[in-house]
Structure 1
């Protein structure tokens, strides 16, 4: 009697994917979550003043954004290679969806940089006009986050499906990724259509909690155990 693992991953690739997941969580949490909270205000004048007063933080945030995109490119390729034998078509859906997300992220960096260029460069606009444009770019950047969330939600649906079909990933993680993906999709649709329904807000918040826990757990699982499989027994002759 021989033992044959149904899903055979490259341990180095799995551990690398886990490390990238955690690196993206740290860099993305800083550049997408923390930095905008310190700079973007509800009025244009304050946003412009905050930007000029926090130029160092702003530039570090841009570096973190750039690292996120580089890490995303790497993890997209690695996840495709890991899961393509589980479901080739769904693995391709996951790859294309995450690649679309990365493209929107690149555009979003441009929108984030434009206010700084506007305030520090030479132009013919007066102060009030500059401040208004700064706020418009910041608002567009915030909206861009909801756009790439749609792509990422689709990616997580495909990835969750692949995790559930594999014989390696714990089922609870696959379910968390698949179910939680609807949080990104629902929030993106709600924000982009300017829908204001409290029940929907509570729903996507709950789903985002599920998917956040699942993503971090999946990253940790890949980093710690992702390359080791539990062999399945086969009655085929040795």
Structure 2
């Protein structure tokens, strides 16, 4: 169990690093939501930077899939059925993000050594919209995953219950933001508010779990496992 905690902690940490770099340091810096021409020009002129962002997203996806296995093994003694359910929804999230990532890869291919054009701008805009929609749907499934994982942690006797509560709060942040983005035509007017609803509980909840997993995984004292069998 100590080794599983170590793997899970490292995987979560890599997701934080790779995801924040790819999304916030690279992708958001290249996109100007109010100007298709500038966005397309940025992709063309910063092609290598865009490629490094895609690599970051790929690394994030790899460790996300790794967590399906490690978190299942970490929580299965509490409830194997619920652990399977949590894994299923995290896999769904990974599948949707993988398909979304292919949209960015298509943009990468289209903007390699080409000149800007209205047609290219339209295609890039459509692909970015598809990427955002697919990732949002995937995050809804991720939110459900966090609810089940949070419940498993709350029922566990070897992981602090507070971490489970924080994950459930983070889950509702993902779900509220995702539903708003998919249903509200004026979502951009409230984007900053919804980002706070997502980012704050996510950073507090998932990063707290990451720190706990790393401490449990790397400290010399053995990891003691106790559990209560549930459905």
Instruction: Specify if TM > 0.5.
Output: yes
Q: List 4+ stretches of structure 1 deviating above 4 A.
A: 195-204
Structure number, greater radius of gyration? 1
> Counterpart of 1:112?
104
Pairs within 5 Å for 1:58-137:
58-120=50-112, 127-137=117-127
Residues 1:216 and 2:207 aligned together = yes
Residues 1:147 and 2:133 aligned together = no
Residues 1:228 and 2:223 aligned together = yes
Contact 1:80 1:92 in 2 (8 A): yes
> What is the CA distance between 1:104 and its match in structure 2?
0.8
- 3-state SS of paired residue (1:228): coil
Q: Render the CA deviation track for 1:191-224: whole Å, top value 9, x for unaligned.
A: 0112658899847734541232110010110011
Distance 1:150 1:11, change over 3 A: same
Contact 1:90 1:158 in 2 (8 A): yes
Q: Which runs of 5+ in 2 are unaligned?
A: none
Normalised TM-score (structure 2) = 0.87
| Distance in 2, Cα, partners of 1:107 & 1:200 | 24
Normalised TM-score (structure 1) = 0.84
> Counterpart of 2:18?
27
| Distance in 2, Cα, partners of 1:174 & 1:88 | 17
> What is the CA distance between 1:121 and its match in structure 2?
7.5
| Distance in 2, Cα, partners of 1:137 & 1:220 | 36
| Distance in 2, Cα, partners of 1:195 & 1:84 | 41
| Distance in 1, Cα, partners of 2:7 & 2:224 | 16
| Distance in 2, Cα, partners of 1:48 & 1:200 | 22
> Counterpart of 1:182?
172
Q: Which has the higher contact order (CA 8 A, sep 6+)?
A: 1
> What is the CA distance between 1:136 and its match in structure 2?
1.3
Q: Which runs of 5+ in 1 are unaligned?
A: 1-9, 233-238
> What is the CA distance between 1:139 and its match in structure 2?
2.1
Count of paired positions: 221
User: How much is the aligned-residue C-alpha RMSD, in angstroms?
Assistant: 2.5
> Counterpart of 1:138?
128
> What is the CA distance between 1:140 and its match in structure 2?
1.9
| Distance in 1, Cα, partners of 2:197 & 2:112 | 41
